[in-house]
A and B are shown apart, each in its own frame.
Chain A
Amino acid sequence: MKRDEALKTLARHYPSGIVVAVYQSAFDWLHIRPHPLNYFCTGAMGQASSHGLGLALGAPGEKVVVIDGDGSLLMNLGSLVTVANLAPENIFHFVSQNNMYEVNGKFPIPGADKIRFDQMALAAGYRHAFCFDEIDQFDSKIKEILELKGPVFVCMKVQPGQFYPLDYVTIHSQKTRSNFRNAIKTRLQSKT
């Protein structure tokens, strides 16, 4: 399935919650679902799931969707164990698996034709794990998946779709971080 199709489908079912997104998925998501609760300030490659875990623990009444990359997750595989061990029910860990470091020259990830991220997540202790490569299947299951108790892992086997600009300035800007800080503060205050 095309990544933009998958992300548009996810956005339709998850229009206004917290999302941690990285690399090409972040650039896509920025345009597909602009929202102050988008969290792009992960800083270092591989850290999406760890930022998502902190948000899931700090905002237990909120769902947290992480849109990780395959190369990124490979840099932080231990985080699967950390997340599964703490097991917050509100974390939904998606991975865009395109088998390459897309924004770093499209070089293939190691083991691209062998890796089963969903199996890794289950072995680490996630409650549920799924893998999709057809948009129709993904579309028909995503609503149900987002109602499960986490940690939930979803591998999206994707190909590039529509191109969105690599907007590093917005991703790393102080304004984006301030918007998120204000938005989550407001969201948390509204629930107390």
Chain B
Amino acid sequence: MKPHQNPLPIQGASIIRAFEEAGIRYIVALPDIVTCETVLWPLSSHPKFMFIPVCKEDEGVSICASLSYCSQRSVLLMQHTGFLDSVNAIRAIAVDYQLPVVMVVGLQGAEADRHPSDSDNVGIRALGPICDALELQHTVIEHEHCSVSITKWIENAYDESSPCVIFLPYPPK
């Protein structure tokens, strides 16, 4: 399966705007090579967000979960390797407890000519089936016209008190 043909890849600024529009206040993150330049660096000094750098991704799952009890919205930015490393925390805290943990995950090494589900990289190819097995809602965002759906995914997570994963296969512009 080839990615949808669209002349406009998603913009880092659009992702940040989507976070703002969804009422996100806290950015919890580890650096991810896919999102670092155009999303993480701008967010780290953005006046509308409080930036929470963590040492390991599962810390972030817990921080986002506990912030939700205080009616505070957050997103956790990480690389797919960190997602894989944190599966038990995601399962126990986000899925079992049904908490609105929103994960934005960069796919390091995703090939530009194919969908992540067809990747030669088993770590990337397995992400969708792992989410399905966990009954964890997920989506892949590639293009600028999809940026509005980021806001919707976040709002839905908080409205439904359920976790979700937004995969970004390519570096935003």
Q: A residues engaging B (CB < 8 A)?
A: 39, 41-44, 46-47, 50-55, 57-59, 76, 78-79, 81-82, 85-86, 172, 177, 180-181, 184-185, 188
Contacts and interface: CB of A to CB of B under 8 A. Distances in A.
B84 to A, nearest CB: 15
Nearest to B66: A54
B101 to A, nearest CB: 11
Given A41-B97, A55-B66, A86-B52, 11 more contacts: A43-B65, A43-B92, A47-B59, A50-B66, A54-B69, A55-B67, A58-B71, A76-B56, A76-B58, A184-B69, A185-B71
Given A43-B96, A47-B93, A78 B88 contact: no
Interface in B59-101: 59-67, 69-72, 88-89, 92-93, 96-97
A57 B59 contact: no
Contact of B72 (A46, A58, A81): A58
B112 interface: no
B70 A58 contact: yes
B140 interface: no
Contacts of A78: 54-56, 59
B59 A76 contact: yes
A66 B65 CA distance: 16
Contacts of A44: 58, 62, 88-89, 92-93
A46 to B, nearest CB: 8
Contacts, number: 95
A104 B66 CA distance: 26
Interface in B21-58: 26, 50, 52-56, 58
A81 B70 CA distance: 23
B65 A82 contact: no
Given A44-B92, A51-B65, A79 B59 contact: yes
Given A47-B62, A82-B53, A82-B54, A58 B88 contact: no
The dominant DSSP class at the B interface is helix
A184 B68 CA distance: 11
Contact of B55 (A41, A82, A172, A177): A82
A90 B26 CA distance: 18
B71 to A, nearest CB: 7
Contacts of A86: 52
A191 B63 CA distance: 23
Contact of B66 (A46, A52, A85, A188): A52
Contacts of B53: 82, 85
Given A44-B89, A184-B69, A185-B71, A54 B64 contact: yes
A186 to B, nearest CB: 12
17 contacts: A43-B96, A44-B89, A44-B92, A46-B58, A50-B62, A53-B62, A53-B63, A54-B62, A55-B69, A58-B66, A59-B70, A79-B59, A86-B52, A177-B97, A180-B69, A184-B69, A184-B70
Name the residue among A42, A43, A47, A181 with the largest chain B CB count within 10 angstroms.
A43
Nearest to B86: A44
Contacts of B97: 41, 43, 177
B75 to A, nearest CB: 13
Contacts of A41: 93, 97
A43 B50 contact: no
B70 A50 contact: no
Contacts of A39: 66, 69
